[in-house]
Amino acid sequence: MERHVVALGGGGFTTDDDPRLDDFVLGLTGRDRPRVCFLATAQGDSPSYVVDFYDAFRERAETAHLTLFGRPRRDIRDFLLAQEVVYVGGGNTANMLAIWRVHGVDQVLREAWERGIVLAGMSAGSICWFEWGVTDSFGDELASLRCLGFLSGSNCPHYDSGPERRPTYRRLVESGELPAGLAADDGVGLHFAGTELAEAVTARPDAGAYRVERGENGAVERPITVRRLG
């Protein structure tokens, strides 16, 4: 099965009225109304976050969500493997990964990916698929975080929306604390087919994506071509 990950630097249904980025994710299934499950773990299964998901997707998909706080369902594996898209919301990535590991969700997500279920998400739902990411999970200061490792290298979302994102990511790559990786502005989706970047897409003008690597004189940032949706 073809494996797909779409890592969104930001945007998607939570912050953007333009549906084209989320439509791109759904379109990877080849289905008119794919089955989509939302994981709001990074925001503590916030009810308002879940409602926003249903409001955004119920007209174009068969929607469901998985809660892990309180008393989780016992058939997590069967439930997730019955989906065609698993969409992960933003929030506290470190807490999300810890909770996933307690309930075995991390292992199920790898199995889902290997079966061809599309994995997508913004912010926490972007960096979680990589080996490493940049996160504010531990407070105001951005820090490195080891993630699931489905995709090699590191990832930095929100590259254009916070004054500290770009310099911090470059510093962490330059120092070797993070391996080379990909950065994405808000509204940019990094689409991986298998483990290789297939393309970067956006519905926003001037939004960018970048490869950031360690060079002889510091971090080197190279723009990636971004295809405008629509």
What is the residue type of 80? L
CA distance 39 to 49: 10
What pLDDT was estimated at residue 42? 98
What is the residue type of 86? V
CA distance 4 to 114: 9
Q: How remote is the C-alpha of 20 from its chain's centroid? A: 16
Residues 6+ away with beta carbon under 8 Å from 47: none
Mean pLDDT, contiguous 10-residue spans, the chain (230 residues): 94 83 97 98 97 96 97 95 98 97 98 98 97 94 96 97 92 96 97 98 94 93 96
CA distance 102 to 136: 22
CA distance 20 to 27: 10
What pLDDT was estimated at residue 16? 65
Output the pTM of the full model: 0.96
Nearest CA-CA partner of 1 in 106, 88, 100, 84:
84
What pLDDT was estimated at residue 140? 84
Tokens 């470059």 belong to residue: 170
Residues 6+ away with beta carbon under 8 Å from 184: 7, 8, 9, 10, 126, 155, 156, 157, 159, 190, 200, 208, 209, 210
Q: Which domains does the chain have, with CATH numbers?
A: 4-228 (3.40.50.880)
Output the six-digit token pair for 8: 């969104």
What residues act catalytically?
123, 158
What pLDDT was estimated at residue 146? 98
